[in-house]
Amino acid sequence: MFTRLIRALILIGAAGLLLVLTWPQAFGLHNTWVVAHLVSFRAIAVIGAVVGIVLLGLLMFIRPLRRTLGMAMVLLVLFGVANVGILATRGFTASTAQVSTAQVSTAQVGNEANTDSVTVLSWNTLGDAPGAAIIADLAVAQNVDVVTLPETTEEAGILIAKAMRDAGRPMWVHTLAFDLVSKARSTTLLISPDLGDYVVSNAAGSGPPGNTNVLPTVVAEPVDGRGPTIVAVHAVAPIQFEMSNWRSDLDWLATKCQGDNVIMAGDFNSTLDHMAGRAGGGSNGGSNGGAGAVLGNCADTALSAGAAAVGTWPTSIPAPLGSPIDHVMATPNWQVTALQVIETLDGAGSDHRPIVATLTPVA
């Protein structure tokens, strides 16, 4: 009797743990240490469940444990199926196209057909690692209007802009650096003059209310007030001693997308799971965001394009197994017409993949 009770408690505990890992936001645990990390890699969790099922199956010869092992296998099957369903809903399809810097993408074709569209490239460069030439070649090939580059210095940004200018795509450079000790504490934003003149509106200091806490985010506003506010994002990673800052960063970013015309792109260091409860505003969440909003009033372009399950980090594992922590987001006045996570530059030096989205004004 006692043994049966122990087994029942173990199964109940395992069921509870798997339920939390499947949908932690239901329990308010999606922004907690360890759980936040585990839910970031749903595809790997599915693989782990399959391995667990096989191992438990090999132990089925132990007659006294067959019922318990069988029930544990059922729990793992349900866990795996649920995560596969979530990944399938978010989608792998639209962003797996392989492109090189020598190719003209569908985003470029879209820009030629519709001059109102805006193509955004975001790439955390791991401290300028790919080099200005590779970054510029990619930006020119994609015919981008906006480039957000977390962990990229002003010096690199100027070199990128010069190379793009020589290729017929001039750019204005805006950089915020919290210090010059670590390249990770610089974020560079490039904006095409075709979008008009922009000014950085949060240049002073670090941390809320003017910025993210540890790593800089650039907020650029149009001088004439006609274009979109552009936010180059870099939230801190949810490591053990930065959890409070990470949650604060996401809350602050939600407030930066409360306007009617905002484009945000960069390294959010968070998946859609971590953003739960922040649509419509700040830490209190709400339901006042636009259609499909996930952060403030912003919708995720990858989710809209059916590609939100494609991993952008790290480049050391295949994209379908990675964590989608880099995003391009926009307010409801924009719709995504093309989106790609670029995998052909995995060996360029950064541990992040570039993401490119073309946005068109909603008619």
DSSP 232-259: EEEPPP--GGGHHHHHHHHHHHHHTT-S
Q: Give residue 207's pLDDT.
A: 78
Q: Give residue 100's pLDDT.
A: 37
Dihedral over Cα of 24, 25, 28, 34: its sign? positive
Check residues 55 and 5 and name the one with the higher pLDDT.
55
* DSSP letter assigned to residue 104: P
Q: Give residue 346's pLDDT.
A: 97
Dihedral over Cα of 278, 231, 214, 45: its sign? positive
What mean pLDDT do residues 5-34 have? Answer: 95
Largest CA-CA distance found in the chain, in angstroms, rounded: 79
Instruction: For 281-340, write each residue's pLDDT tens digit.
Output: 544 343 345 568 999 999 999 999 999 999 999 999 999 999 999 999 999 999 999 999
If pLDDT is split at 50, 70 and 90, which confidence band does 115 have?
A: low
Q: Give residue 292's pLDDT.
A: 87
Whole-number Å distance between alpha carbons of 54 and 183? 45
If pLDDT is split at 50, 70 and 90, which confidence band does 61 have?
A: confident
Helix, strand or coil for residue 180?
coil
Q: In what order do the strands lie in the sheet with 118-122?
A: 172-177, 186-191, 146-150, 118-122, 355-361, 334-341
Q: What percent of the chain has pLDDT over 90?
A: 82
Q: How many CA atoms lie within 13 A of 260 on its CB side?
A: 4
Q: Tell me the H-state helices in 59-153.
A: 66-90, 106-113, 132-141
Q: Which helix (H) or strand (E) holds 174?
A: strand 172-177
- Among 231, 268, 328, 344, which Cα is nearest to 40's? 268
pTM: 0.91
What mean pLDDT do residues 105-134 have? Answer: 75
Instruction: For 329-359, write each residue's pLDDT tens digit.
Output: 999 999 999 999 999 999 999 999 999 999 9
Residue position matching structure tokens 């180059």? 232
Q: Give residue 13's pLDDT.
A: 96
